[in-house]
Amino acid sequence: MVHHWSHGAWASVPAIEPITVALYLAPGFELLAVSLALDVFRLTNKAAGREAFRWRVVSHLGGAVRASCGIDVTADADLARERRYLMQPERPVLALVFGDEHDEGRETKALSAWLRECRQRRIAAGAFGNGVTALAKAGLLNDRKCAVHWEAFPGFKERFMRIEAVATIYEADNNIWSCAGGTAAFDMMIELVKHHCGEPVAVSVAELAVAGRIRTGQERQRLPLLRQHGRLNPTVVKLIELMQRNLAAPLTMADLAAAAGLSRRQVERLFRNDIGRSPCRYFRELRLEHAKLLLAQSAMPVLEIAVSCGFVSASHFSRCFREAHLIAPHEARNLPAGGFLSVSGSRPGRHVL
C-alpha cells in the first residue's frame, strides 16, 4: 500500500504510480540532508522492488546551486516550470525545501508563492535545516509545530511568533514536515517512507543503509553545552530540560531540588559527577549561550536580551558575557553565531545531530 495526500491526510491507496518529489535547492543548502534524502529514495526503490519514488531537483533559475560545503549540484528544472507542473500530470506529491533564499527579493517571493500553491493543491511540504525558514516565510507554519536547529532556534522564535518552534529532530504537523537538519534528515525520511510504503519497506531501507538506530521525531537534538559525556542520570536530564524552559526566570537551587525531589546537596553532587560543574554554573552558561545566539540572530536591544535570559541588569549581563566569551555583547553583533571563542578557547560545533 502507498499513502497519497488526499483531503488533508495521507490516504491508503494501491501502489500504482510512483511518488513524485520536487526538491528545491537554495544557495548554501546542506549537502548532507540532500544526499541522505536522495539515497533514502534510491534504497526505497530497491527495497520495494519497484519505482516507489521518482524525483527532480529544482532551483530558482534552473542552474546549478552551490551547497554550503562548496559543491555545485545541477538542477533538473527551474521554479517557473515547476509551478506549471502543478497543473499537469507531472505535479509532485511532495515538495521538499533545502536551504532558504538569503534575501526578500524575487527568489524568496517566487519560492513562497510555489509553496503556497503546493498547499492549495493538497501537496505535502517539508524542509530541512534553514529551509524551515522558507516554510515559515510562506506562512505554511503559522499556528503549527515545527523543528528548528538548536543554533537557529532563538532567532527563529523571535522572528516567527505565531509558530510553535521546538528543538526536536523533526516534526510533522498536518503533512508539513520540518527537520532540524544534519543526520536527522535520515530519520525523517525513513518516517516518510513508512507513510508512503509501509513499515516493512522502511525497515528494509534502514537495514540497507546499515542504520544502527532510527530516532523518533520527538527526540531532542542535544543537551546544550555538553560536548563530551557518557550516559547522564535521568534526574540531571530532567533538570536541564527544566532550566531550558525557564531561561528568563532563573531557578534557584531550592527550585531544582524540589523539582527533583532531592536535597540541594544531592542535586549538586549529581551535576558535578555527571557534567563536572555545579547546577548554578551550568545554568548561567546555558543562559549566556542563549544570549549569544540572540545577539547574532536578532536585532533585540542588549537590555532586552539580558532580561530575556534572566539577568537583573545590562551591566551584570555584560560582565558575565565578557567573562564567558572574552568580548562585550555589542561586539558579538558582528560575529556569526558559531564564531565565538569560549573561555576554554574551543569553538562550538555547528552540527551535532
Domain-located, residue 220: no
Same domain, 180 and 273: no
Same domain, 165 and 280: no
Same domain, 238 and 200: no
Domain-located, residue 353: no
Same domain, 252 and 162: no
Could you tell me what percent of the chain has a pLDDT over 70? 87
Same domain, 33 and 174: yes
Same domain, 108 and 253: no
Residue 16's pLDDT is: 59
How much is the average pLDDT of 91-106? 90
Separation in Å, CA 35 to CA 32, 68, 75, 220:
5, 13, 14, 23
pLDDT by residue (tens digit) across 119-178? Answer: 999 999 999 999 999 999 999 999 999 999 988 888 898 899 999 999 899 999 999 999
Q: Are 3 and 196 in contact (CB under 8 A)?
A: yes
Residue type at position 85: Y
Domain-located, residue 143: yes
Domain-located, residue 74: yes
Structurally, how many domains does the chain consist of? 2
DSSP-assigned states of every residue in 56-79: EEEESSSS-EE-TTS-EE--SEEH
pLDDT by residue (tens digit) across 238-277? Answer: 898 899 889 888 889 999 999 999 999 999 999 998 888 8
Instruction: Report strand pairing: 170-173 vs 124-128.
Output: unpaired
pLDDT band at 341, cuts 50/70/90?
very low
Domain-located, residue 221: no
Same domain, 241 and 204: no
Domain-located, residue 59: yes
CATH number of the domain residue 319 falls in? 1.10.10.60
Separation in Å, CA 33 to CA 25, 98, 99, 126, 199:
11, 8, 10, 12, 22
Same domain, 59 and 192: yes
Same domain, 124 and 31: yes
Residue type at position 6: S
Residue 230's pLDDT is: 58
Same domain, 260 and 139: no
Residue 194 CB partners (closer than 8 Å, separation 6+): 201, 202
Domain-located, residue 161: yes
Same domain, 103 and 180: yes
Cβ atoms within 10 Å of 234's Cβ, excluding its own: 8
- For residue 281, the enclosing domain spans 234-332
pLDDT by residue (tens digit) across 166-195? Answer: 989 999 999 999 999 999 999 999 999 999
Nearest CA-CA partner of 149 in 297, 327, 305, 282: 297
Domain-located, residue 222: no
Cβ atoms within 10 Å of 271's Cβ, excluding its own: 24
pTM for the full predicted model:
0.73
Same domain, 174 and 38: yes
CATH number of the domain residue 107 falls in? 3.40.50.880
Distance between CA atoms of residues 61 and 81, nearest Å:
9
Distance between CA atoms of residues 111 and 117, nearest Å:
10
